[in-house]
Chain A
């Protein structure tokens, strides 16, 4: 790879590098004034991060502040600022304090959705992580057709998620879908994949696991390849059997990768909008509605659109996620994880 080929160049430049460092620090010492000095030292670093900070500031910072504000009002479709034809109607919503939050938290709907969202997140992440780990271990050895298997297993990742979701809807179709036809061939009654609350839940989890395994597989393969083979040789010399080698070399070796991957995919799954929105639209009823899709429904589907309520849901979701991230990082730190 590119990095390897550059090693020799880097070594040749090593001696010169030291001199270069010395000269730079000399320069900054002469400039008077703390601000000017730090500006002259760091201006290029700041220039390099400026676009990202600007984009994030405008597109996330402003809407976030505004969302926080909206969540303390009674804004809905009927009272926000809007223009109908030539007439400009000013906003008439008022501040209601924390009423939206108390309303949400006292509402049974929120707790139902939260329970289902947690079941959904945990089962999706756990199943796809386990499958990814098993498949990565199966692939990480000498094997005929290894790259073919790899290509096949990564395919669900290569197809855009919304295309896959439509495909699954085709397969799940209750009257005519191929899955039910296969079952009928075996003499089993048609299963209402997307129309029965329990089956719909199983179906969305299945589809999301199908979509999520390739990411886990690729990450785990990378992790496995970074474990030095000598460890396994040494363990074999000491008489460790396959399970012991897996338990005491492979799993600890994958710790860093898996903790990151679980955190990331946990957050992704928690916020997984397209799968549920396109597969079931949250239905039947609101059986498969997770927090994110429910908040979307509040502000874009129901009538009148409840902007304030949706914003309150959004803020609560954000708080939950932050809590999850903090707790998760604490737990990792306790186990001596570095980051």
Chain B
């Protein structure tokens, strides 16, 4: 792969014998351009093909799920079946409820925490930062059994709220770090101006800083959303009974050691992937700035 980038940049050095053909900075020869595009095309194709194949398969009848034909017996029957004859809609509802709550609460509390850590020096700040860092690497395995028992004691098994609280612990530490990094890039003078104009710290945070931090909040929200939307381990362990499952658990029931209903699986997978991809499209502009602010400043 590195060889592909080399010709492009090597040819930049102008040859002194032919001054007319001097290339400007950042220009490349035609060969290098072709190599660059071929490399990127291969990479893009690798990235796109699996989701695309999923989409194509979802429009085939179940019996034809593995045929290599692109379009053969185009049908919406899989979607019809999934929506009307399975518990898919209740899984979707469960997931939306859990993920929505996780995102809203997660963004809010990680933003306040990130702000406090970024702006104030208070006793307990360093331990808190360490706590946030260390929680990020907690393996599911060490927590899952005690957490299962805890939720059972509290009667929260099979309850969306139990999953919400659990997901918060996964999403919040990383989000708080990212928000801290983002708040660090907002000048402190703005806070001070707000303070002078008579706002208390909460007012400063809510009315001045939050509106400025929208890109960061978008990234944080996206991260919480994806965390909840795609989580498998806790959802598989804590939710039982077909109508209580979230999407990640529910989809597993289509293809397991007993059945393999690829038609339903692909159709529901497409329905699941679309909202995630759309939201991703909205925030991806901010993703680079938000992520690197978090990454470089931590």
**Do A160 and B272 touch (CB < 8 A)?**
yes
* Interface 9-residue window, one of B72-80, B85-93, B122-130: B122-130
User: Is there a chain B Cβ closer than 8 Å to A108's Cβ?
Assistant: no
**Do B201 and A314 touch (CB < 8 A)?**
no
**Do A19 and B196 touch (CB < 8 A)?**
yes
How many angstroms between the C-alpha atoms of A154 and B273 in the bound complex?
Answer: 14
Given contacts A44-B200, A56-B131, A300-B237, contact A1 B142 (CB under 8 A): no
User: Is there a chain A Cβ closer than 8 Å to B226's Cβ?
Assistant: yes
**Do B5 and A3 touch (CB < 8 A)?**
no
Interface size in chain B (residues, C-beta < 8 A): 119
**Do B189 and A162 touch (CB < 8 A)?**
no
**Do B150 and A66 touch (CB < 8 A)?**
yes
How many angstroms between the C-alpha atoms of A74 and B57 in the bound complex?
Answer: 48
Contact with A along B277-290 (1 / 0, CB 8 A): 10011001001110
User: Is there a chain A Cβ closer than 8 Å to B157's Cβ?
Assistant: no
Hey, which chain B residues are within 8 Å of A20, CB to CB?
A: 192, 195-196
How many angstroms between the C-alpha atoms of A3 and B133 in the bound complex?
Answer: 27
Hey, which chain A residues are within 8 Å of B137, CB to CB?
A: 267, 270-271, 318, 321-322, 325
Residue of chain A at shortest CB distance from B95: A160
Hey, which chain A residues are within 8 Å of B176, CB to CB?
A: 52
Q: Give chain B nearest CB distance to A270 CB in angstroms.
A: 8
Hey, which chain A residues are within 8 Å of B57, CB to CB?
A: 170
**Do B68 and A63 touch (CB < 8 A)?**
no
Residue among B172, B214, B287, B292 having the largest count of chain A Cβ atoms under 10 Å: B292
Residue in A52, A168, A171 whose beta carbon sits within 8 Å of that of B172 in the complex: A52
How many A-B pairs have beta carbons closer than 8 Å: the answer is 352
How many angstroms between the C-alpha atoms of A151 and B169 in the bound complex?
Answer: 30
Q: Is the interface of B mostly helix, strand, loop or mixed?
A: helix
Given contacts A63-B150, A177-B66, contact A21 B12 (CB under 8 A): no
Q: Give chain A nearest CB distance to B250 CB in angstroms.
A: 10
Contact with A along B194-206 (1 / 0, CB 8 A): 0110001110010
Hey, which chain A residues are within 8 Å of B142, CB to CB?
A: 64, 67, 295, 311, 314-315, 317-318
User: Is there a chain A Cβ closer than 8 Å to B16's Cβ?
Assistant: no
Hey, which chain B residues are within 8 Å of A84, CB to CB?
A: none
How many angstroms between the C-alpha atoms of A254 and B128 in the bound complex?
Answer: 28
How many angstroms between the C-alpha atoms of A17 and B47 in the bound complex?
Answer: 50
Hey, which chain A residues are within 8 Å of B37, CB to CB?
A: 144
* Interface 9-residue window, one of A92-100, A187-195, A197-205, A273-281: A273-281
Given contacts A292-B139, A339-B298, contact A159 B9 (CB under 8 A): no
Residue in B149, B187, B288 whose beta carbon sits within 8 Å of that of A10 in the complex: B187
Selected A-B contacts with CB under 8 Å, 12 pairs: A11-B189, A20-B196, A60-B138, A62-B150, A176-B66, A213-B47, A218-B288, A222-B288, A260-B296, A267-B136, A271-B139, A315-B142
Where the two chains meet, the residues of B that have a C-beta atom closer than 8 Å to any C-beta of A are 1-2, 4-6, 8-10, 12-13, 25-26, 36-37, 39-40, 43-44, 46-48, 50-51, 53-54, 57, 65-66, 68, 109-110, 112-113, 115-117, 120, 122-125, 128, 131-147, 149-150, 165-166, 168-169, 172-173, 176, 185-190, 192-193, 195-196, 200-202, 205, 211-215, 226, 229-233, 236-237, 247-248, 251-252, 255, 262, 265-266, 269, 272-273, 276-277, 280-281, 284, 287-289, 291-292, 295-296, 298
Where the two chains meet, the residues of A that have a C-beta atom closer than 8 Å to any C-beta of B are 1-3, 6-7, 9-14, 16-21, 24, 38, 41-42, 44-46, 48-49, 51-53, 55-56, 58-60, 62-64, 66-67, 70, 80, 131, 134-135, 137-139, 141-144, 149, 151-164, 166-171, 173, 175-178, 181, 210, 213-214, 218-219, 221-223, 225-226, 233, 236, 241-243, 245, 256-257, 260-261, 264, 267, 270-271, 273-274, 277-278, 291-292, 295-296, 299-300, 307, 310-311, 313-315, 317-318, 321-322, 325, 339
